[in-house]
Amino acid sequence: MNIVSSTGYGDMVAYNDTERVALIILINLGDALFAVAFGLLAGLTMKTSTSSDAEKVYNKMDSILAFLKKFKIEQEIKAKITNFYSYSWSL
């Protein structure tokens, strides 16, 4: 437990049950704090990198749909084109 919580090897020693319970709570609270901090940082980096990519895909799809509507492409061909681009951009 000391290795996982990064408190070292025996630098924090509990002598009675009350201290052991308090130490366990503090160690778990510290671990949870680190987990939340790193989770928030990971979420921010993922959000900034994927939102711009998703926006580009939506803009391209809108322009393709506008093109298909402007030139009155048949529904069957329109479905094939949108399926193709949806599949290729999802990779």
Higher-confidence residue: 14 or 69? 69
Residue 24: pLDDT over 60: yes
Residue 3: pLDDT over 60: no
Tell me the C-alpha distance between 25 and 19, whole Å: 10
Those residues whose C-beta lies under 8 Å from the C-beta of residue 81, and which sit 6 or more positions away, are 64, 68, 73
Mean pLDDT of 52-74: 88
Tell me the C-alpha distance between 36 and 49, whole Å: 20
Domain edges within the chain: 17-90
Q: φ, ψ for residue 2 (rounded to 5)?
A: -65, -35
Those residues whose C-beta lies under 8 Å from the C-beta of residue 74, and which sit 6 or more positions away, are none
Record the pTM.
0.45
Tell me what pLDDT residue 1 has. 47
Helix (H, G, I), strand (E, B) or coil at 18: helix
Higher-confidence residue: 89 or 33? 33
